[in-house]
Amino acid sequence: MARIEDYAIVGDLQTAALISNEGSVDWLCLPRFDSPACFAALLDGPEAGRWLLAPAGGGTCTRRRYVEDTLVLETEWENTQGTVRVIDFMPPRGQAPDIVRIVEGVSGSVQMHGELTLRFDYGRVRPWVHQDGDQLLAVAGPDAVRLRTPAPTSGHEWSTVADFTVSAGDRVPFVLTWSASYERHPRPVDAEQALRDTFTYWKEWCGRGHDLSGRYRDAVRRSLLTLKALTYQPTGGIVAAATTSLPEQVGGPRNWDYRYCWLRDSTYTLQALIAGGYLDEAKAWREWLLRAVAGDPADLQIMYGVDGTRRLPESELDWLRGYQNSSPVRVGNAAADQLQLDVWGETLDGLALARESGLAATEDAWDLQVALMEHLETIWDQTDNGLWEVRGPRRHFTHSKVMAWVATDRMAKAVRRHPTLHGPADRWEALRDTIHADVLAHGFDQDRNTFVQSYGATALDASVLIIPRVGFLPGDDPRMLGTIDAIQRELTQGGLVLRYQNAESDDGLPGGEGLFLACSFWMVDALHLAGRQTDAIGLFERLLDLRNDVGLLSEEWDPAGKRQLGNTPQAFSHFALVTSGLQLHAGRGHGSHEPIRHPGVPTR
């Protein structure tokens, strides 16, 4: 079965498909990211739905790439019969979601095999399939999917197979379109026109960003494209990843649904997109935020659905075995009901960055920020679940308190700097000082010269690596230097960083997990801000080597199995890559709320 890094993503800014290097679409939720999957082989096997298009002999492709700076994927096989290429993409959403696959003969004559196994509701529902004019129609309950292709198809054991030959110069299109079963048929797209439109869309999107250049240009650009692919265009929301339940340990139970908008993850994504020159996305996200959190600030959630939905009840899909038997498969996420104090800091930090980057402050946006700040003033000293969303006992997490400090800092500074923004700056500055002193008194272990995970604890936590970047302490402060040393000594494996030691920190969950990639990028930032440029570059380049062949990263890395783990592609990993890459390029650090004026790519 495919490894997580065997997958590439194509998407239409409302949902995304994962396609393996064997030519199988193994994951696709329609019509949006968090809809039930119609291809769920990723979390079970082919019987849970997939769409294979590959040479009849099967096997892993010989080459794979995205066409220039786009989300148009080319998968190529070379065998004794010749060379064949499958071009996969999802056109920017028109009337309905489509996934288009064009089989192109490159040389010789290659026998191809297609197998379309549609299963609605995450593999549970087998649709009725019949020919409807020039289309194949699959219907069950609310879902209808149509396939249009000139290739011959036939039914075989609840799948549709296509066996055909492509010769050099042939192009055989397949267009799969979803609609609600009770609605009129959507107008079919023309595959070749859709290819041109999709290519143009992504090239234009890249052209709108800052002109990146230099050594890390391609990596940063691919991560920005991936982050854009995780945005839900109709609302401006940003999902944390395209998948649910890819495990943090193969065979383990730490499997979560990431197809939602975390305030933390989306704010960090926003910082990366702003750094890449994408202010429109920042504006759309701010509007999403205003709608999502409208109402009593006490009701703020740490995450929402792509449209702002608040109830995201967690349940288990017991008919799916899980990725390589990693069960349970979960949909929904119980973390939605947790208290995570850091999200106030991240949100206010992101909004400060948007403002300082030229996104004019609106009255509504400022009123929201004041309301958030005033609520945080009443709860900052409570225990919480922290950014890692622990399901064990609540604690005074050091990172949460640092981020509460960030909230006060950004709000006080906004009032001092902008005469049109009103608020009790004196009071917020006083609270800022109080929290700063509180963190240093309780979150720092004097004897070991390191920040710790929570007040009074001995356990370490990589989240404190963000301390210099948010401006809580300078990067070369002896307390930060000590923390870097302690984390390198006690929380790293082969130089890559764990979030925390599962055995030392009660997160309420059984099993272990891999090395958390974003934390390793935060180590890059901390080293860089500490003046350890060579170490920072060395670690950054090691991390780049963990990307798959098309530049994608999931959440974690398994050093023993040398493979990616967790949901994919994950925004957390990709925004961290962008931030580190741009800082290394600039040759200096920049605060999380400071715009990078001239991003580009570092040269050594």
Ligand X SMILES: OC[C@H]1O[C@H](O[C@H]2O[C@H](CO)[C@@H](O)[C@H](O)[C@H]2O)[C@H](O)[C@@H](O)[C@@H]1O
Size of the site for ligand X (CB under 6 A): 13
φ and ψ at residue 94, rounded to 5 degrees:
-105, -120
Residue 176 touching ligand X (CB under 6 A): no
Cα–Cα dist 64/74, whole Å: 6
CB count in 10 Å sphere of residue 23: 26
Residue 384 touching ligand X (CB under 6 A): no
Residue 572 touching ligand X (CB under 6 A): yes
Cα–Cα dist 491/498, whole Å: 6
CB count in 10 Å sphere of residue 563: 18
127 sits in the region (left: phi over 0; alpha: psi -120 to 50; else beta) called beta
Nearer CB in complex with ligand X: 148/264: 264
* Binding region for ligand X (CB under 6 A) out of 255-263, 321-329, 412-420, 538-546: 255-263
Residue 556 touching ligand X (CB under 6 A): no
Which two three-digit tokens encode residue 258? 């990431």
Contacting residues for 199 by C-beta, under 8 A, at least 6 apart: 67, 68, 70, 72
* Binding region for ligand X (CB under 6 A) out of 85-93, 387-395, 407-415, 591-599: 387-395
172 in Cβ contact with 149 (< 8 Å): yes
Q: List the one residue from 50, 148, 264, 469 that touches ligand X (CB under 6 A).
A: 264
Contacting residues for 235 by C-beta, under 8 A, at least 6 apart: 284, 288, 291, 306, 307, 308
Least distance from ligand X to the Cβ atom of residue 322, Å: 16
* Binding region for ligand X (CB under 6 A) out of 50-58, 227-235, 257-265, 432-440: 257-265
Q: List the one residue from 320, 387, 414, 452 that touches ligand X (CB under 6 A).
A: 387
* Binding region for ligand X (CB under 6 A) out of 42-50, 70-78, 121-129, 385-393: 385-393
Q: List the one residue from 240, 306, 359, 465 that touches ligand X (CB under 6 A).
A: 240
Least distance from ligand X to the Cβ atom of residue 366, Å: 26
Cα–Cα dist 356/592, whole Å: 11
Q: List the one residue from 39, 51, 205, 256 that touches ligand X (CB under 6 A).
A: 256
Nearer CB in complex with ligand X: 114/514: 514
Residue 428 touching ligand X (CB under 6 A): no
Least distance from ligand X to the Cβ atom of residue 333, Å: 5
Strand locations in 396-478 (E): 444-445, 450-451
Least distance from ligand X to the Cβ atom of residue 220, Å: 20
Distances (CA, A) of 284 to 232, 450, 571: 10, 39, 17
Q: List the one residue from 7, 258, 285, 557 that touches ligand X (CB under 6 A).
A: 258
Q: List the one residue from 22, 26, 389, 409 that touches ligand X (CB under 6 A).
A: 389
Residue 505 touching ligand X (CB under 6 A): no
Q: Hunting for tokens 């019987």 — which residue is that?
A: 47
Q: Give me the 317-336 binding string for ligand X, x by CB under 6 A, dash otherwise.
A: ----------------x-x-
Cα–Cα dist 596/599, whole Å: 6
Interface ranges with ligand X (CB under 6 A)? 240, 256, 258, 262, 264-265, 333, 335, 387-389, 391, 572
